[in-house]
């Protein structure tokens, strides 16, 4: 009953923020971040557009699907991805209803791409679009997805993956700030960050099987800085610290462990934790380390990430193992000499006090409101 009264109070606060003049967007961001997020899809239909500053009064009509599909270079790929997206629809939904939604999904994607020729489709994009379609319906989904694609998702929609890789480069510095042991273990295993790629570019829509968890995360991400999903990815890895450290220290094993995401994560705790870390270690502070990672990850090492599957079939594994161990020894000496482990523990102790995401939520909100394209390193052009 206590939970119910809390929920009722939150619903009232959300409507109060929606009805105030001007609309209290900062309050809506806080509600989207704080425990339980926006609670219902009915509320999401009203609040998501506000978080993305999309005007719902004059939504453009949707074009007819046929003309969109006729000579669209992405049509075949989109069609394949959407056909494979069965598990993204609620179990038990009648086939004809699902097929109707899949047609709408194809149209939304092609519509956004047609109107924004600078955007390039990528596999996984449909996982984000289907989430919006299921929550807010096709017309509103089209407007929200278009806004999102030119902002939060802009980097994933470049012709190359350079910017996406650059965002992935934030993962290890965040882990390093919080847990140097896990960081060093992952570096020794040479696991890279490709295991988190599908998390990042689908906002976890592709890897979480419970739709409620997906929309709860979307509440959070829509209210925050565009890099928040990478903080959330870091928090998942940190939460699994023990499993990681108990794993065999080699690329294939650690990659396999991390890419299987547990379905019973304590989402509210992790969301709160990600908010805290964002406040403690804002992107601007990590930018230098992320850029350094980029420099160190030469073509050879990035290629190695994608060659995961073949790792264990090589006769030269033993040689590489020895070479790696020698390298590791040198690395360790080098990092002890060069890496100042600053006042991390002091910082963490202080932050422990705000885990309830009171202060943290406010700071995240503030940074989200202040965030502008003149962002450090121009990650979001």
The mean per-residue pLDDT over the stretch 47-59 comes to: 93
User: What pLDDT is stored for residue 44 in this prediction?
Assistant: 98
Residues 6+ apart with CB under 8 A from 148: 52, 128, 132
What angle do helix axes 138-150 and 95-115 make, rounded to 10 degrees?
Answer: 40
In the chain, what percentage of residues exceed pLDDT 70?
A: 76
H/E stretch holding 321: helix 317-338
pTM: 0.78
For the segment(s) 1-155+314-328, the CATH number from 2.30.290.10, 1.10.8.1310, 3.40.640.10, 1.20.58.1180 is 1.10.8.1310
Q: How far is CA 377 from each of CA 238, 286, 291, 306, 373, rounded to the nearest angstrom?
A: 26, 11, 9, 26, 10
For 196-254, how does the pLDDT look when each residue is reduced to its tens digit (9 = 90+)?
999 999 999 999 989 999 999 999 999 999 999 999 999 999 999 999 999 999 999 99
Residue 106 pLDDT > 80, yes or no?
A: yes
Which pLDDT band holds residue 331 (cuts at 50, 70, 90)? low
User: What pLDDT is stored for residue 341 in this prediction?
Assistant: 45
Sign of CA dihedral 98, 103, 105, 108: negative
For 339-352, how does the pLDDT look when each residue is reduced to its tens digit (9 = 90+)?
444 444 444 443 43
**Where in the chain are all domains bearing CATH 1.10.8.1310?**
1-155+314-328
**Where in the chain are all domains bearing CATH 1.10.472.80?**
161-291
Residue 58 pLDDT > 60, yes or no?
A: yes
- Which segments of 116-227 does DSSP mark as H helices, in order? 125-136, 138-150, 162-168, 171-178, 180-189, 197-201, 211-223
Tokens of 103: 């047609």
Fold of 161-291: Cyclin A; domain 1 (1.10.472)
* Cis peptide bond prior to 353, omega within 30° of 0: no
Taking phi first (over 0 means left), then psi (-120 to 50 degrees means alpha), and beta for anything else, what does residue 122 get?
beta
H/E stretch holding 247: none
How far apart CA 186 and CA 238 sit, in angstroms, is 11
């Amino acid at each position: 009953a206590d939970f119910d009264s809390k929920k009722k109070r939150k619903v009232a606060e959300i409507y109060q923020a929606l009805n105030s003049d001007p609309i209290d967007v900062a309050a809506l961001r806080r509600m989207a971040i704080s425990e339980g997020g926006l609670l219902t899809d009915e509320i999401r239909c009203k609040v998501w557009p506000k978080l993305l500053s999309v005007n719902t009064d004059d939504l453009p009509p949707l074009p007819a699907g046929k003309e969109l599909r006729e000579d669209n270079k992405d049509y075949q790929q989109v069609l394949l991805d959407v056909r494979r997206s069965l598990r993204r629809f609620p179990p038990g939904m009648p086939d004809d209803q699902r097929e109707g939604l899949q047609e709408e999904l194809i149209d939304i994607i092609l519509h956004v791409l047609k109107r924004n020729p600078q955007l390039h489709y990528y596999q996984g994009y449909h996982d984000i679009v289907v989430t919006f379609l299921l929550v807010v319906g096709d017309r509103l989904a089209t407007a929200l997805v278009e806004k999102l694609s030119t902002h939060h998702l802009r980097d994933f929609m470049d012709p190359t993956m350079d910017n996406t890789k650059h965002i992935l480069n934030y993962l290890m510095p965040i882990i390093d700030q919080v847990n140097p042991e896990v960081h060093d273990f992952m570096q020794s295993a040479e696991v890279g960050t490709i295991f988190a790629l599908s998390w990042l570019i689908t906002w976890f829509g592709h890897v979480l099987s419970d739709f409620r968890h997906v929309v709860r995360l979307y509440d959070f991400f829509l209210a925050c800085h565009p890099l928040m999903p990478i903080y959330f990815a870091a928090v998942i890895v940190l939460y699994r610290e023990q499993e990681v450290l108990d794993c065999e220290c080699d690329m294939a094993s650690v990659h396999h462990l991390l890419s299987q995401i547990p379905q019973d994560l304590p989402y509210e705790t992790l969301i709160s934790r990600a908010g805290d870390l964002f406040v403690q270690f804002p992107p601007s502070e990590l930018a230098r380390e992320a850029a350094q990672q980029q420099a160190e990850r030469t073509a050879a090492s990035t290629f190695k990430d994608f060659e995961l599957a073949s790792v264990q079939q090589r006769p030269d594994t033993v040689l590489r193992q020895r070479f790696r161990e020698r390298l590791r020894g040198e690395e360790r000496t080098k990092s002890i000499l060069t890496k100042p482990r600053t006042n991390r523990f002091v910082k963490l102790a202080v932050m422990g006090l705000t885990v309830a995401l009171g202060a943290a939520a406010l700071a995240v909100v503030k940074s989200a409101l202040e965030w502008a394209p003149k962002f450090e390193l121009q990650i979001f052009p």
